[in-house]
């Protein structure tokens, strides 16, 4: 299973938020480049970068992302505030291997279709962030009354091949995964599935592996030493 360290960027620093609340941050690295290089040195095969300021409309961290791209030798995916074809194009141009879209996939699927047509499913990922299974958008601030399994099927039909599912109720809490929720998404999604939100220990990763989930995004559990990334890189 692919274990992907998360580097969340807010106000130019590498942080983790509690349940996505920008007012409840823990700073792990003052410089996100150092965070990215740290996980690369630990053997990470890919990184997951999120521009939290872009996601909430409070600003953006493009210069930081450009600096990360200039120093990394492993691929990274980046999300947060990707609301247009132009946003995606700019992130790919600065060095991202692929872009992660969320709100846009729900509110403007036709634009997602354009992205898939232009770059293919290798360069575009959709993240369905949810409270339980109810999808939320706009920096997790807006409920949609739509369920992840319901949205997964048309995304597959559109040509998407990689899906991220995050339970935002648990994100940054170290509360452990809701594996039943993950099981429901796994049943609905035939492609490459990446799960996150609340991963607290290697037991959570083993639970995902048993469900046939191909990838996991984790932040706080790695930063606080609850998971040894090198062990998972080695198999």
CB atoms within 10 A of CB 160: 24
Whether residue 158 is predicted with pLDDT greater than 90 in this model: the reply is yes
């480049």: which residue's tokens? Answer: 33
| Given the residues 51, 53, 129, 171, the one annotated as active site | 129
Q: What is the pLDDT of residue 139?
A: 74
Question: Would you call 178 a catalytic residue per the annotation?
Answer: no
Q: How far apart are CA 231 and CA 219, in angstroms?
A: 16
Assess contact for 170 and 192: CB atoms under 8 A.
no
Q: What is the mean pLDDT of residues 26-51?
A: 94
CB atoms within 10 A of CB 118: 13
Read off the pTM: 0.93
Q: How far apart are CA 9 and CA 13, in angstroms?
A: 5
Report how far apart, in Å, the C-alpha atoms of 150 and of each of 12, 22, 36 are: 36, 29, 34
Q: What is the mean pLDDT of residues 34-49?
A: 97
Whether residue 23 is predicted with pLDDT greater than 70 in this model: the reply is no
Question: Would you call 129 a catalytic residue per the annotation?
Answer: yes
Per the structure block, which two tokens stand in for 193?
């599935």
Per the structure block, which two tokens stand in for 111?
């634009």
Task: Determine which helix (DSSP H) or strand (DSSP E) holds 193, and give its type and residue range.
Answer: strand 192-196
Q: Does domain 2-233 have CATH number 3.20.20.70?
A: yes
CB atoms within 10 A of CB 86: 9
Give phi and psi for 6, each to the nearest 5: -100, 135
185-234 pLDDT tens trace: 999 999 999 999 889 999 999 999 999 999 999 999 999 999 999 999 86
| Given the residues 8, 51, 87, 167, the one annotated as active site | 8
High-pLDDT (> 70) share of the chain, %? 95
Q: For residues 107-116, b (16+ Cβ closer than 10 Å) or e, as one string?
A: eebebbeebb
Report how far apart, in Å, the C-alpha atoms of 51 and of each of 43, 193, 194 are: 23, 22, 19
54-87 pLDDT tens trace: 988 889 999 999 999 999 999 999 999 899 999 9
Q: How far apart are CA 58 and CA 188, in angstroms?
A: 34
Per the structure block, which two tokens stand in for 145?
């009354």
């Amino acid at each position: 299973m692919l274990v992907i360290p998360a580097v969340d960027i807010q106000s130019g620093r590498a942080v983790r938020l509690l349940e996505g609340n920008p007012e409840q941050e823990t700073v792990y690295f003052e410089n996100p480049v150092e965070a990215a290089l740290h996980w690369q040195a630990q053997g990470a095969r890919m990184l997951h970068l999120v521009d939290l300021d872009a996601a909430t409309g409070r600003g953006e961290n493009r210069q930081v992302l450009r600096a990360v791209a200039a120093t990394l030798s492993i691929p990274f995916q980046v999300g947060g505030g990707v609301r247009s074809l132009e946003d995606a194009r700019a992130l790919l141009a600065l060095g991202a291997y692929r872009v992660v879209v969320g709100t846009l996939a729900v509110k403007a699927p036709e634009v997602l279709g354009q992205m898939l047509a232009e770059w293919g499913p290798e360069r575009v990922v959709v993240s369905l962030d949810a409270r339980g299974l109810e999808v939320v958008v706009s920096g997790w601030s807006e409920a949609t009354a739509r369920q992840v399994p319901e949205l997964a099927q048309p995304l597959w039909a559109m040509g998407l091949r990689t899906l991220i599912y995050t339970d935002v109720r648990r994100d940054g809490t170290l509360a452990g995964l809701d594996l039943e929720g993950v099981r429901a998404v796994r049943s609905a999604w035939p492609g490459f599935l990446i799960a996150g939100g609340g991963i607290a220990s290697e037991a959570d990763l083993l639970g995902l592996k048993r469900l046939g989930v191909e990838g996991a995004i984790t932040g706080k559990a790695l930063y606080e030493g609850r998971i040894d990334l090198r062990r998972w890189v080695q198999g």
